[in-house]
């Protein structure tokens, strides 16, 4: 059975950089998805308790916060919620390995195209809906 939140295609995008949050929100809204943004980990956690999201796109470094620590919190609260780690740190095999070990469904560099990110979002949501 597909849950209602999986059909809604509502993304939570967590990044401390306003231009990146706004750009991605506009892009995904133009693709027909509902988007909510958060600047901090605490804001993201609070929103996730109030709104049933289909997927989270999470910056690896949120100011002084660790996106990897936040990933662990998300996965404890919402084990089936797909989380894509999003980073400007480039290709880092150690970060990739750690993110996947902590439950990330994908790891994307901010330098990759938005179309590549969209493909990762669709793959992650499809995998979650069949799990």
Per-residue pLDDT of 77-95, as tens digits, reads: 999 999 999 988 767 778 8
Which residues of 1-131 form beta strands (DSSP E)? 10-14, 34-38, 55-59, 61-62, 65-66, 83-87, 106-109
Torsion angle of the four alpha carbons 17, 123, 129, 37, in this order, in degrees rounded to the nearest 10:
10
Pairing type for strands 61-62 and 65-66 reads antiparallel
Question: Which domains, ranges and CATH numbers included, belong to the chain?
Answer: 4-130 (3.40.50.2300)
Q: How far apart are CA 49 and CA 14, in angstroms?
A: 15
Q: Is the pLDDT of residue 70 over 90?
A: yes
Would you state the structure tokens that stand for residue 37, as one six-digit string? Answer: 């943004």
User: Considering only 31-35, 57-61, 68-72, 90-94, which range has the smallest mean pLDDT?
Assistant: 90-94
Per-residue pLDDT of 7-44, as tens digits, reads: 468 999 999 999 999 999 999 999 999 999 999 999 99
Per-residue pLDDT of 92-107, as tens digits, reads: 778 888 898 999 999 9
């Amino acid at each position: 059975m597909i849950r209602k939140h999986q059909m809604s295609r509502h993304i939570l995008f967590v990044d401390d950089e306003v231009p990146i949050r706004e750009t991605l929100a506009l892009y995904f809204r133009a693709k027909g998805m509902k988007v909510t943004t958060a600047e901090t980990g605490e804001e993201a956690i609070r929103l996730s308790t109030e709104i049933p999201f289909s997927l989270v796109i999470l910056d690896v470094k949120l100011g002084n916060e660790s996106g990897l620590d936040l990933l662990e919190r998300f996965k404890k609260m919402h084990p089936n919620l797909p989380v894509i780690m999003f980073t400007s740190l480039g290709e880092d095999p150690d970060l990739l390995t750690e993110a996947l070990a902590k439950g990330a469904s994908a790891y994307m560099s901010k330098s990759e195209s938005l179309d590549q990110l969209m493909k990762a979002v669709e793959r992650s949501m499809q995998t979650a809906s069949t799990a």
